[in-house]
Amino acid sequence: DGGITQSPKYLFRKEGQNVTLSCEQNLNHDAMYWYRQDPGQGLRLIYYSQIVNDFQKGDIAEGYSVSREKKESFPLTVTSAQKNPTAFYLCASSVRQPMNTEAFFGQGTRLTVV
């Protein structure tokens, strides 16, 4: 089955700690994205990558870091510099532009800072 897998589904972090969220896809998509959802808000773009070994900041990249060493994988690290990390994190992938196409989403990771 092709799809996007995010793990873990729930994650708890102590203040001051870095934590890494996993995202793997087997759709052979070039582009991958990380979004954050807060209650009552839409999805906001954190980082995106169009190709292996290249990634760009989105609208709210501060306090986050990513890597894209393999086409299938796009992990997101939430660093201690992120002031309000508690949120629902969504990873997505799509074929590379300029094609008009939808993005496919994983099931999300809920991160809670305790």
Q: Does 2 bind another protein (CB under 8 A)?
A: no
**Nearest CB to another protein, comparing residues 82 and 94:** 94
Q: Does 35 bind another protein (CB under 8 A)?
A: yes
Interactions with another protein, residue window 43-72 (CB under 8 A): 43-45, 48, 50, 56, 58
Q: Does 22 bind another protein (CB under 8 A)?
A: no
The residues, any chain, with a CB within 8 Å of residue 95's CB and separated by 6 or more, are 29, 30, 31, 101
Range list of β-strands (E), the chain: 4-7, 10-13, 19-25, 31-37, 43-51, 54-57, 64-66, 76-78, 87-94, 104-105, 109-113
Binding site for another protein (CB under 8 A): 4, 6, 31, 33, 35, 40-45, 48, 50, 56, 58, 88, 90, 92, 94, 96-108, 110
